[in-house]
Structure 1
Amino acid sequence: MFRAIVDSAVASILVIDGSGTVQFCNKAGLKLFFRDDTSIEGGCITDFLPNSEMIDGELVVHGIRQAFGFALITLTTPSGEKRGFNVRHDLELDEKKNKLNILRMTDVTEEVATQKALSAQKERWDLALKGSQIGIFESDLRANEGSATNTWFHLFGVEDPADLDSDKFWHERVHPDDLQGVLDSDASCVYGDKERSDTKYRVLHEDGQWHWMHSVLLVAERDASGKAIRLLGTMTDITELRQAMELARERENQLRRLIASAPVPMAVLSPDGRFQITNEACQTFLGYSADDLLENSLWALGDRQMLADLQNEIKSLLDGSIDVYAGEKTFQRPDGAEIEFAIRFSKLHGESGNYRSLIVQFIDITEQKRVARLKDNFIATVSHELRTPLASISGALGLMQAMSAERLDEKALNLLTIASRNGQRLKELVDDLLDFQHLSSGALSLKIAPANIIAIVDQAVEEIQPFAQKLEVGLSFQHEPQQLTGNLDPVRFKQIIVNLLSNAIKFSTTGEKVMVQVTHSQGFCCVAVTNKGIGIAPEFREHIFRPFSQQADPATRDREGSGLGLAISKGLIERMRGSIGYESVPNGQTTFWIRLPLEEMPETITEKAL
């Protein structure tokens, strides 16, 4: 009966005598050595078991390795598959005191594979926990002892925890002011008052500093009566986070103090437009108390349509297309007073670089706008009042010159010529003032229609020719042979070209030539006017298109002009969907250009010298 039990055992069992002869092999052993009969019995074990030998009557198997709690050897099946076996060898004596080797071999291939997978998984988890600096701890309430991962101890600066009890160690390291609060929270979790204990506290680090930790504790197991018997939790170091939060709070307090002391109306808004910080100047400007503003969004105040338009306009700021938004709006206070204001938005960025708030500044420009309107009205009124008498004076002077050429002496005729020329200059100044006022107020209407650009430029060149001859400056006109058509106001477009030509001639060196060129590229026409002379000083370049701007250079003070020509030209060309610009080298070449979209596309260049 005993033999039958052994013979049917799952493990391979062999009995080998001191000479190495197999005395017994069960069925599992036959399968192990891939035999289907009992021919293994009586044979030598070293013929069947690789890397084995007999030494002084004892079986020695080489190549056994310890892994996963097994004494492992690897055998290869006839099909080439490698299988792992756990080997157990015992030495017994028979009745005659002869040595008997009892060899038990169990196929543990699947168990080893499972253990390897679990080991690899554990290694990955350990790496993840170490990389994320998450320490895991466990408390056995029955044994009153704790254990923790190496990462948990590393958070305290302990590199080799050895056999430290994590519970006892933790109690020794927690700050005295924080200990009771953490224990009370943990007790509430243990007794079932809450699902988990979530606490933040200080611990003494090996570096001698207090570090902030964040722990989350759960009851992992309760006994039949519901009493907690095992706790499981995690711990992370939040020192840097706490420091960052304290720094952020300090910066916010600094921002609050800065805004509160600012003399201009300022506020900080959340991304959705709600007021977070306001100063007294802002409250006075908008006509709301601090509490009213902090309970509201900017977009919910006053004129909803104006604010909706403003909200839409700052989208380019929010999406990062621009860094700052600036605009002008009109706002009605709760008391009914209407104010005009300039508004400026910028983004307040957080530590991560993403914006977390908007800073908005308001400037009351109501009085400034009122004065500007008065000025515009005054200029318009004076210009209109001057235009009629100037026309009469100019006409009378012209008539006197024509009628008195033979009656007056040379001195009198010269005085009439000077008066006529100055009258014309005054008329041009009045015209410029009116044009600029109409452009600024938006009252200037243009008659936009398809027109031949080359023909208009040619007319302007012909018209300015006498002025160029007077100052001994030549003109050269290069242009496309066929018609270039653009949508523009022909009269105003010629005014722009004449203005550019007049400036180029006035500031050219005597004997030089002004070059006028019309080209086209990629659906646009470019008219360029180039001269050689004193050029534009670098410090004057940012002012050149501003009204009433003239270069403060002794060499240019004798040049006639109101300082409005380029400002008017820029306003006109932009109304025609064009642009204006320049390139200049001091005491060298200067080119002013205008660029307009074309209706048609043509070809080569011809030159016309004048």
Structure 2
Amino acid sequence: MTTAEAPDRADEVLRLRREVARLEAERDRLLGQMQHRDDELEIATRMLQARAQTMTSVIDAVTEQSIIGTDRDGVIRVWNPGAEKLLGLPRADVVRRRTITEFHLPEELEEAGGGLAALVRTAQEQGRDVRDWTYVSPDGEELTVSVAVTPRTDDSGAHAGWNFVGTDMTEVRATERMKDQFVSLISHELRTPLSSILGYLELVLDDPDQPLTEEQRQYLTTVERNAQRLLRLVGDLLFTAQVDAGRFTLQPEDVDLAAVVRAAEDTARVTAATAGVELLVRVPDGGLAVRGDAVRLGQACDNLVSNAVKFTPRGGRVTLTLEQAWRTTDGAVVDEPQPGAAPVARLAVSDTGVGIPAGEQQQLFARFFRASTARRHAVPGVGLGLAITKAITTAHGGTLDVESVENQGTTFTLTLPR
């Protein structure tokens, strides 16, 4: 080695030593990162295990509802004690061995389109679905179960299957059917004698050979008025029973809704005048036609107008406004036509009455519900009118909405397709 080469070699050795030192430092840094990642992974694993244990504990604690989880093909992966109790099979006999469709009534599945798709179609489109299905136990017993279906995801958020949360409604639905059958039977049994009473009252009141005194006529007119009221109540009870039993049918035809609204005004005019309530009607001069059942639409309008009059104190006002409008693709109703919007008829019945508390407005369309303002002001009624109006509106493919402020008034808006 020459004298000139010695410093170069020393520099190279020094450079290599520095590189080795750098690599060793990088190695130590990477080893430290790996240890840190190992610690994080261990913590995450313990957290996942704890979460899974918590979820399992929660699911296993539910004994009055069946919780069934499946993979994307419907193979059962989760089967809680509630499912064991409802369907009589232990978890070991079901998980990874049976599919959810095996516990459903085959005919019911076929009517809904068949297979797992029939159970999850709505949940797939809307994110959830709740409806009654018929479960079949291994011994052949059929159970009516209200089933909530939701998608199930894995830890990465990917679709992993479906959750089916079921509540046994067998006894509840049987009781409801018995109640509806009872209401229907009683309604029929009451209608016959009431019709006879009204018939004989008409004969007595209109008999020219045996004229009545003014006092007798007044008494019998009171009897007739209350008999008519009872007959309307019986008709309402019978109608609600028909709706619940699925026997409510329409006789569709072209109907001038403006004429229906004017008829409702005529029906309520005497009552409104007696109560000191002003009636205002605004309808298109040329009418407004819809496709529907004229009798049922008249019943719906009568209910809305009579309710408005009943809940409006003396000196108040009830306004009936019928106009054409358009429903957009997102469900909003607008006054002017827009691309893709469908024409509708919109009837608003507004009053300046006692109003409805905000917390009670969602219950208004339930049978026999009466707002606290109705009870407080002793407004007569049994709570069937709005339920009937809602059923008629829904059967026509329409909507019925309410806006109300207590002590300021209420507006019911009935919207029908044209």
TM range (shorter): 0.7 to 0.9
**Residue in structure 2 matched with residue 384 of structure 1 by the alignment:** 188
- Root mean square deviation of aligned Cα: 2.8
Q: 1:204-246 deviations in whole A, cap 9, x for unaligned?
A: xxxxxxx37xxxxxxxxxxxxxxxxxxxxxxxx3432332222
Give the deviation of 1:280 after TM superposition. Answer: 2.7
Contact 1:259/1:267 (<8 A) preserved: no
**Residue in structure 2 matched with residue 539 of structure 1 by the alignment:** 359
With over 3 angstroms needed to count, the CA separation of the structure-2 counterparts of 1:311 and 1:241, relative to structure 1, is: farther
Note the 1:466-545 alignment, pairs <5 A.
466-522=270-326, 523-545=343-365
d(CA) in 1 for partners of 2:25 and 2:190?
Answer: 94
Unaligned runs of 5+ in 1: 1-68, 70-144, 159-202, 204-210, 213-236, 599-610
Where 2:380 maps in the other structure, the secondary structure is coil
Give the deviation of 1:445 after TM superposition. Answer: 1.3
**Residue in structure 1 matched with residue 117 of structure 2 by the alignment:** 311
Q: 1:456-476 deviations in whole A, cap 9, x for unaligned?
A: 222222222222222222211
Mark the structure with the bigger radius of gyration.
Answer: 1
**Residue in structure 2 matched with residue 176 of structure 1 by the alignment:** none
Note the 1:428-467 alignment, pairs <5 A.
428-467=232-271
**Residue in structure 1 matched with residue 6 of structure 2 by the alignment:** none
d(CA) in 1 for partners of 2:24 and 2:198?
Answer: 102
Aligned equivalent of 1:269, options 70, 84, 91: 70
Aligned equivalent of 1:585, options 386, 391, 405: 405
Which structure would you say has the larger RCO, counting Cα contacts within 8 Å and 6 or more residues apart?
Answer: 2
Question: Which letter maps to 1:292?
Answer: D
Q: 1:87-134 deviations in whole A, cap 9, x for unaligned?
A: xxxxxxxxxxxxxxxxxxxxxxxxxxxxxxxxxxxxxxxxxxxxxxxx
With over 3 angstroms needed to count, the CA separation of the structure-2 counterparts of 1:592 and 1:309, relative to structure 1, is: farther
Where 2:94 maps in the other structure, the secondary structure is helix
Task: Answer with 508-517 or 430-439: which moved more.
Answer: 508-517
Please state if 1:427 is matched with 2:227: no
Q: 1:246-272 deviations in whole A, cap 9, x for unaligned?
A: 211221112222222212222333343
Question: Which letter maps to 1:299?
Answer: T
Q: 1:37-58 deviations in whole A, cap 9, x for unaligned?
A: xxxxxxxxxxxxxxxxxxxxxx
Q: 1:517-553 deviations in whole A, cap 9, x for unaligned?
A: 1111221110111111111122321210100011233
With over 3 angstroms needed to count, the CA separation of the structure-2 counterparts of 1:467 and 1:290, relative to structure 1, is: same
d(CA) in 1 for partners of 2:191 and 2:353?
Answer: 34
More helix by proportion, 1 or 2?
Answer: 2
More strand by proportion, 1 or 2?
Answer: 1
d(CA) in 2 for partners of 1:255 and 1:268?
Answer: 12
Aligned equivalent of 2:148, options 330, 341, 344: 344
Note the 1:269-418 alignment, pairs <5 A.
269-294=70-95, 295-304=97-106, 306-307=108-109, 308=114, 311-318=117-124, 321-322=126-127, 324-347=128-151, 352-354=156-158, 356=160, 358-403=162-207, 407-408=212-213, 410=215, 412-418=216-222
Where 1:329 maps in the other structure, the secondary structure is strand
Unaligned runs of 5+ in 2: 1-11, 13-19, 327-342
d(CA) in 1 for partners of 2:323 and 2:212?
Answer: 52
Task: Answer with 300-309 or 273-282: which moved more.
Answer: 300-309
d(CA) in 2 for partners of 1:248 and 1:362?
Answer: 27
Give the deviation of 1:557 after TM superposition. Answer: 5.0
Aligned length: 377
Give the deviation of 1:425 after TM superposition. Answer: 1.3
Give the deviation of 1:418 after TM superposition. Answer: 2.9
With over 3 angstroms needed to count, the CA separation of the structure-2 counterparts of 1:505 and 1:260, relative to structure 1, is: same
Task: Answer with 486-495 or 351-360: which moved more.
Answer: 351-360
d(CA) in 1 for partners of 2:131 and 2:404?
Answer: 32
Contact 1:505/1:531 (<8 A) preserved: yes
- The percentage of counterpart residues that share the same residue type is 27
**Residue in structure 2 matched with residue 558 of structure 1 by the alignment:** 378
With over 3 angstroms needed to count, the CA separation of the structure-2 counterparts of 1:414 and 1:366, relative to structure 1, is: same
Note the 1:95-110 alignment, pairs <5 A.
none
d(CA) in 2 for partners of 1:531 and 1:152?
Answer: 82
d(CA) in 2 for partners of 1:585 and 1:348?
Answer: 42
d(CA) in 2 for partners of 1:154 and 1:490?
Answer: 84
Question: Which letter maps to 1:262?
Answer: V
Question: Which letter maps to 2:354?
Answer: I
d(CA) in 2 for partners of 1:273 and 1:150?
Answer: 54
Please state if 1:250 is matched with 2:50: yes
d(CA) in 2 for partners of 1:482 and 1:310?
Answer: 52
